[in-house]
Amino acid sequence: MKARSSHTTIARIGRHLLLLGFVVIILAPFLWSLNTSLKPLSEILSYPPTLFPAKIFLGNYINVLSQNEFRRFILNSAIVTLFSVILTLLVSLFAGYAAARYNFPAKEFLMLLLLAGMAIGRFANVIPLYFLAIKLKLFDTYLMLVLAYSAFITPLITWLMQSYFKTIPVAIEEAAKIDGCNTWKSFWMVVVPIMKPPIVAGAVITMSRAWNEFILALTLTRSSDMRTLPVGLHFFLTDYGVEWGPLTAASILSIIPILIVFLWLQRYFLQGFTSGTLGGS
Amino acid sequence: MMRRLLLVMLGIALLMSSFVFASGKQESSQAEEAPTIVFQTFLTPGKDSPREKAWGQIIERFTAKTGIKVETNIMPWSEIDPQLILSVQSGNPPDVSFVRDKSFLRAMRANVLMSLDDFIERDYDESRKNDYLLWDQDGVYKGKKYAFHMHYIPVALYMRKDLMEKAGLEAPRSWDEFVKVGKALSSQGNIAYLFAVSPAQPTALDYLQPMIEGRGGKVLTEAGKAGFQQEAGVETYKFLKSLIYDHGISPKSTATIKYDEVTDAFSAGRVAMVIEGAHRYKRIVNALGEENIMLARIPGVDVSLPSPTSVAGWNLGIPRGSKHPEAAWEFIKFATGTEAQIIYTKVGGQIPVLKSVLNDQYFRSEEGAIAGWFVEYMNTAGSLAIGPPTYSQLNELMSVSLQEALSDANSDVEKILAQSAEKYNSIVDSQ
């Protein structure tokens, strides 16, 4: 009994050490960026590198935040991300509901086709999307980015929604209808409130994708007024060399909104994922 | 709760929509007197860096002089060329664009630039043509001129003046002297010489070209096939290998070092000598102080014959389908003219493309002496950096083969280069 208990303890310690190692690997680049962003150039380039800044230096953050373009990049990313989240959630909610509740010809095939579309990488779509944007006169507009981002992520979120809708008993909607709700009303008043976890999970996934996306943002926009944050970060990689201080400061600043949202909604996010995919399928 | 969340999101969306529509680009209904040209660049005119300040002034003067307004499309420098090809092929090009000279032939193969010969014939006389430092080589494809360099980037040997003086050393003129200087610097605990080899940021051609040409060879033959596997290339690779294994001048880790890391290491004072482009001079001076830097021609096989400097840079060209080619030509003419070139040299710290600029008092000042030195080096031993349509594959192959040669003291350089040459030739044949 004692031997078994010590065996369990060792296994638990091993597991924790493994997790700790994993956390260190994940956090190390972030912490090193944070560390670099708080150093002046002379200290960034010094050898051997210092583990902590000799003195906290905020010059890189001031430099970045005082640039009008950088503030504009943040605003553009915020606009594109917000609308992408709204559009993706709306379409996915309806599509997921239809797939979960209604039977229609070739439903399974269509759902698989939807998923198969995700196998085509974004890079393969860049050129066709560019030409499409020009034809539709949507080149260099927020709308084009929103449509493109939403189109790429909607299949995944639709599947997520469908799985979760299936876990909600139909009886709840039937009860609502007995109480006088029509389908539309019961959808919004009864079903959607229960869908909080997958909606949050879908929102967080879409947000992180749209916020971090680079190649489409680079190709589908042209003017400085339309550039988003990931493209803006690339401007710190100049042909003069890498501007490490401003680059790391800007990277840290760009992570903050996603981090805040994730920490705020992480409970629902995890619930949405586990219930929607494992529990519901 | 869920409803409230959705309402809040929709509220924010509505607020932002009003902003989006308010700030969206509005087509002007007013007829414009002079056209507005779109200039594709990687620099933001008017910003703080020297080149961006200079561009701000150049555009301001151009508009004041011609009435033509300039709108800029700014993108990361590494994306300029692919985006240019894409925009031309989709019928949505800018009016003027930067074109990296090393990508010039690739751009020409994609047929993205229009010939400037008609404009030149109309507006340029012989004296103006002769004023350009490399008129016959610059932006020429099949006998026609398609682009003008805005500035040049020659390379040179950068040295730590303080370390050299402390050790009582002078700038090396030959590779033998280079080894002696390197050994003396190493004996004082310095990394004497560092060079970028990593294929992750392939730039080996920047220093291999002058080293191979300095030994009488060519990286590519006249027919565009591999020439680097011949005697001069083999000697160059063996020499670089000896710096690590025979002389201890360069660390073995140089085989994995990237270009930016070399500049950073030199700027941080960790390395005594590097071969570097003129475009990073100001950055290095800002980090180390002008008093601690000295420049020299790249050593050669003989003290009397230094290696040539390979000259790169950025071109200006007019993409096919430009909506305002005439105004775009005026812009190029102005930007590569004397007034703008003086600004670009003085304010931007760049190496000019015109000989007449050298008459300016600036070049007799201490600050301008460096630019003058680079121009002199280029003028007497300048060789345009090679830029075949397969430039990126060639550069990567050279970095990979050099890495392979340097990674093992017993590596067979001839065999490695022969294999690389075979690979490169098959790439050329397949295109």
Residue type, B365: S
The confidence score (pLDDT) of residue A239 equals: 77
CB of A168 less than 8 A from some CB of B: no
Residue among B16, B76, B268 whose CB faces A45 most closely? B268
Q: Select from B78, B81, B90 the residue whose CB has the most chain A CBs within 10 Å, as the one to mutate to test that interface.
A: B90
Residue B279: which pLDDT band, with cuts at 50, 70 and 90?
A: confident
Class of domain A59-279 (CATH, top level): mainly alpha
Q: Cβ separation of B16 and A69 shorter than 8 Å? A: no
Residue A39 has pLDDT above 70, yes or no: yes
- Taking only the tens place, the pLDDT of each residue in B340-355 is 999 999 998 899 999 8
- Taking only the tens place, the pLDDT of each residue in B58-92 is 999 999 999 999 999 998 888 899 899 999 988 88
H-only helix segments in chain A: 2-37, 41-44, 59-65, 68-101, 107-117, 122-135, 142-167, 170-178, 183-186, 192-194, 196-212, 215-220, 229-234, 244-273
Q: Distance, in angstroms, between B120 CA and closest chain A CA?
A: 30
Of the candidate ranges B181-185, B303-307, B379-383, the one whose mean pLDDT is the lowest: B379-383
- Taking only the tens place, the pLDDT of each residue in A165-217 is 999 999 998 998 888 888 889 999 999 999 989 999 999 999 999 999 999 99
Higher pLDDT, B137 or B179: B179
Q: Cβ separation of B2 and A195 shorter than 8 Å? A: yes
Residue B20 has pLDDT above 50, yes or no: no
- Can you tell me which residue has the tokens 């014939």? B121
Q: ipTM > 0.85?
A: no
> Which distant-in-sequence residues (6+ apart) come within 8 Å of B420 by Cβ?
B226, B228, B229, B397, B398, B400, B401
- Taking only the tens place, the pLDDT of each residue in A101-115 is 999 888 889 988 888
Q: Dump the DSSP string for B310-375.
A: EEEEEEEE-BTT-S-HHHHHHHHHHHTSHHHHHHHHHTT-PBPSBSGGGGSGGGGSHHHHHHHHHH
Residue among A41, A134, A239 whose CB faces B91 most closely? A134
Per CATH, which fold does B36-152+312-384 belong to? D-Maltodextrin-Binding Protein; domain 2 (3.40.190)
Q: Cβ separation of A134 and B263 shorter than 8 Å? A: no
Q: Select from A240, A248, A271 the residue whose CB has the most chain B CBs within 10 Å, as the one to mutate to test that interface.
A: A240
What mean pLDDT comes out for the span A53-73? 92
Of the candidate ranges A84-93, B86-95, B271-280, B364-373, the one whose mean pLDDT is the lowest: B364-373
Residues of chain B in contact with residue A234, where contact means CB-CB under 8 angstroms, are 76, 78-79
Bridge-based pairing of strands B271-277 and B147-160 is: antiparallel
**Residue % of chain A over a pLDDT of 90:** 60
> Which distant-in-sequence residues (6+ apart) come within 8 Å of B216 by Cβ?
B232, B301
What mean pLDDT comes out for the span B105-120? 94
The confidence score (pLDDT) of residue B16 equals: 52
Residues of chain B in contact with residue A141, where contact means CB-CB under 8 angstroms, are 24
Residue B283: which pLDDT band, with cuts at 50, 70 and 90?
A: confident
Indicate the domain borders of chain B: 36-152+312-384, 153-307+389-430
Q: Cβ separation of B3 and A188 shorter than 8 Å? A: yes
Q: Cβ separation of B264 and A45 shorter than 8 Å? A: yes
The confidence score (pLDDT) of residue B224 equals: 92
Residue B23 has pLDDT above 70, yes or no: no
CB of B102 less than 8 A from some CB of A: no
Indicate the domain borders of chain A: 1-57, 59-279
Q: Cβ separation of B279 and A239 shorter than 8 Å? A: yes
Beta carbons of B45 and B55 less than 8 angstroms apart:
yes
Residue among A82, A85, A134 whose CB faces B92 most closely? A134
- Taking only the tens place, the pLDDT of each residue in A220-245 is 998 888 999 999 999 898 877 788 99
Class of domain B153-307+389-430 (CATH, top level): alpha beta
What mean pLDDT comes out for the span B228-245? 97
The confidence score (pLDDT) of residue B9 equals: 56
Please give the Cα distance from A73 to B245 (Å, whole number): 49
